[in-house]
Amino acid sequence: MVWLYALGSVTVISLISLVGVITLSFSELRVRQLLSLFVALSVGALFGDVFIHILPELFLGVSQPINLTIFILVGLLIFFVLEKFLHWHHHHHVENCEHKIVHPLGYLNLVSDGLHNFIDGIVIGVSYLAGTEIGIATTLAVILHEIPQEIGDFAVLLHAGFTRHRALILNFLSALLAVAGVIVAIIFGKRLNTFMPIALALAAGGFLYIAGSDLVPELHKTTDLKKSGAQLFAIGIGIALMLLLKLIN
């Protein structure tokens, strides 16, 4: 029954990644017009996720917080190195082919989000091992958390240059890593307690890097006062959603 409940829960959560399907009814022009606001929403959701959800959970009852802050910095550096490599790969292919090349930001987001989804799967699996009610409550919390985040992730993939169909497929495949997380959690159980804080810290570093070094500079390319105000409002909405979810949970 634990396997059935846990795998059923992460399947539902993975399907949330297809939220971007609603944009298929919009014209390409309309989606591009809204993209700046979606990216701003993603900035707010990513920063909100890190500072409202991940960091408080990481430092809860920790006697040596510097150990975790080091792993957050390691996460930042890993994503810096990864983006350097992807940029090199990007320019290498631009010189040798005429096809449209996706910005490295898209792949960075998939890596970071995939790690986060894997951790969500572990959390859900461990929760069901503790009891069905705890597992269901944890699943509901993750579902509420995933909706705004998946909208933001889809927007980042579009912004990076993926087509809507490809962004949907890749976002869904990234979400399926939660299934792997559940399987690992049920097999290894409490032995994962040491790994979880490190993985969360690395994910936090990745989210901070993506939001701060890639997305925020993109928003600054717009100098129009009205559009800038709309971006600021969207960032605030992203943060407010994460705060609201924290208060609900």
Query: 193 burial class (0-12, 13-18, 19+ CB within 10 angstroms)?
Result: exposed
Q: How far apart are CA 30 and CA 120, in angstroms?
A: 33
Q: How far apart are CA 181 and CA 169, in angstroms?
A: 19
User: pLDDT digit string (tens) for 149-159?
Assistant: 777 788 888 88
| Residue 26 maps to a domain | no
| Residue 127 maps to a domain | yes
User: pLDDT digit string (tens) for 176-203?
Assistant: 899 998 998 888 876 776 777 887 788 8
| Domain total of the chain | 1
| Residue 217 maps to a domain | yes
| Residue 25 maps to a domain | no
For residue 175, count other CB atoms closer than 10 A to its CB.
26
Q: How far apart are CA 42 and CA 234, in angstroms?
A: 8
| Residue 104 maps to a domain | yes
Contact criterion met (CB below 8 Å) for 119 and 196: yes
Contact criterion met (CB below 8 Å) for 87 and 104: yes
Give the pLDDT of residue 93: 46
User: pLDDT digit string (tens) for 10-57?
Assistant: 888 888 888 777 776 677 667 777 778 888 888 888 898 889 888 888
User: pLDDT digit string (tens) for 51-87?
Assistant: 988 888 888 878 888 989 999 999 899 888 877 776 6
Whole domain around residue 154: which residue ranges? 2-17+31-248
| Residue 23 maps to a domain | no
**Rounded average pLDDT over 115-126:** 82
| Residue 22 maps to a domain | no
| Residue 135 maps to a domain | yes
